[in-house]
Structure formats: C-alpha cells, structure tokens
Chain A
Amino acid sequence: MTDRRPVEAVVIGASAGGVEALLTIFSELKPGFRLPIIVVLHLPEERRSQLAEVFARRLPLTVREVRDKQPIVPGTVYFAGPGYHVSVEHDHSFSLSQEEPVHFSRPAIDYLFESAADVYQQRLAAILLTGANRDGARGLSVVKQLGGLTIVQDPDEAQAATMPQAALDLCQPDCVLPLHGIGRLLVELEHTECC
C-alpha cells in the first residue's frame, strides 16, 4: 500500500445478499473510523428504505440516507435511497438524478462509481460485492482506469456470484478478497491515510 496515494473515500456496491455482506465487512470497523463510505445497495423502488436505520443500530458510526446537495463528511456511512441515482460532485457533495434505471436499477452502482472515480481519482477505493446482475462492473473498470483501488468480493464466497464475476470478466481488480479480508483492508486504508 505504500506506493499508493492515501484514500479519501470508499464506495461500495452490492445487490442480492448485500445486507449480510455489508454487516460482515462493517463488523471490522471501530468507532472513530474516519473515511466516508458511500453505499449503493439495490432496492425495490416503491418502498421507503429502512437501510440507514437498520445499519445505524448495528454500526459504531454515523449512518445517513443520501440527500441532494448533502456535503460528504468523514466518519459517515451513506446509503443511496430508492428511486434515485446518486453521484458525487467535485465539491464533495452528493447530487441525485432520476435518469432511466441502469441494469434495471435506480440507484445504479455504475453511476456512483463513475462519478466518484471522476472526483477522487487515485484517492478512491471501490468495492463490489455479491449480486445477481452486472451493475457495477463498468463503474469498477472506470475507477481502475483513473487510478483508484479496486476490490471485488471473491465470487466463490459471494451469495450471488454474478456481480463480482462480471467485474472480474471486465477488468483485473487490485484485490479479490473474502468479506473479512475486505473489512480488514478498510481499516488498513484508513491508517494509510494517517501516514
């Protein structure tokens, strides 16, 4: 990790099996973890999302549902709400959009990853987890092109292998890891930032 620029933000994409996978990863995080983490987990559009509430009860960190023009602050986990794509803007705030769904999904992982890659470039870590469609693969390859750190859950371990496998088919990510390994890597990334 020493040859890398410090990471400023983490983006995570997941679909089927994503809640359990995220809980496993986040179990490694301690209070005071400073990197902002932005999550797109595929959701049915109709319902109001309870994700932020569910994770707030289980995590030692601040958890929020993304709101339009909200500034991204350290030490916070953000979840994209249903029905809107989430992008990161150059002033490190969020913007939402109701453009057409991508891979039948709104929010789409590709939108978050591509816009965050554009803003943070080498200072971004992107993680793609379990899921039953191909959203996120293109976004992850853009993160890689712009010098960000790319991490994919080991498809053999994933509850649904399609999503991580699609990423492996499209680009060569920096790491392919099981969930606990991804959690520990996040902790390590934060420390890289301090050095």
Chain B
Amino acid sequence: MSLLEISHIRKNFEGLEVLKDISLRVEQGQVVAIIGPSGSGKSTLLRCCTGLETADGGTISYTGSFGLVFQNFNLFPHYSVLKNIMDAPLRVQKRPKKEVREQAESLLGKMGLSEKADAYPYQLSGGQQQRVSIARALALNPQILFFDEPTSALDPELTGEILKVIKELAAEHMTMVIVTHEMNFARNVADYIVFMDQGVIAEEGTPKELFHSANPRMQEFLRKFEEM
C-alpha cells in the first residue's frame, strides 16, 4: 500500500525553478533516502510534502498522518523534554493524559533519555535534542516520518546516535523519508534511494542499483563523497 504519492510537483522561488515535475511513491514500511548536491531541491521537496511550502503544481496525496524531524530540532525551549513530547498529543489530539504520559516515557526510554524527562532543551546536547524531537514526532503516531537532514547540525560523534535511532525505527518498519548527506547511511538503511539534481529526480532505485549507476551526474556526486 502506498502511503504517499507525489505526482508532477513543481515549485518556483521568484522565477527560479527549484522542483521540476517530481513524482514519487512511498510504500508502507519503506525507507526512502533523498540525496543530492546542495540546491538540488531535496529540502524543498520535503517542505512541499509536509505543507511548509505550497507546490505551484502537481498533487500530493497521503494515506494517514505524518511527522517531521527538523535539521535544527525546533524544540520548544520553554517546555521541559517531557512536555515537548506530551503537549501536542494532549492539546491537539486530545488524548487521555495517562496514556500520553506512558507513551512519552516509553519513547524517552527508547531514545535513552529517561533521566532527561524534566530537563529543558538548552541543557541537552544537539544529539539529545534531536532524539527528543524524534520522540516528539513519534508521539503523534504518524504513518510516515520525514527527516530533513537530521544530522547536519550535529558533530560527527553525535551523528552516530541519531543514525542508530533511525536504524532502529527502520527495523520496526516505520515508513520514513530521509533527506540526508550521509551516503553510507543511505546505502545501509534505505530500501530506496532518490538522487536529485537541479530540481529533478536524476536517478532512483535500490541502493545497489544507485551506487552502481551509469548516470554521469550520480557518479560525479559519489566521487565527491569518496574524496572527502
């Protein structure tokens, strides 16, 4: 069953064509990684999918709800960790407090942050903040979880802890769409990789197909990563 179907999406920013006719399907349980050079439109695609930007053309259809994990976390600084996670389920979904609390505590446990429940975001490391923001997104029980470069604001040593969490979610068959710069991670975790370049999907397929692609742009992009 496909949870997300994007067809013929277009987006312009002041005359600049950022997305040119993008179509993509995401199936239940699939982990899709979107890679590509800066300015290729990957983040814009994600922002269109999540309604933070409105596409100029095309359609996006969902089955179920979605969550989004931001590059710079965007936790609510005036809420404790626990309240960051519990507030939306209580205020928006109007679920019973006891149930929400149990879920939040279990999510925190899963993220290895049980002892941080009463801390405030500024007291946490970037990696911990990002884990809280993943827990906050999961607390609403979304069908799809989007990640917008979830490790780009983190030190390399903190990147690992986020990738580990995403891997665990993949093992639980969480449907995820991840915009990332972590090539090895995309290769290891994603079922399907989309390579974007200059506003179009230049190449897509399984990691195996993609990393052995004959597409010259894809090869050039991969070479740059290997040089790093």
Are A and B genuine complex partners?
Answer: no
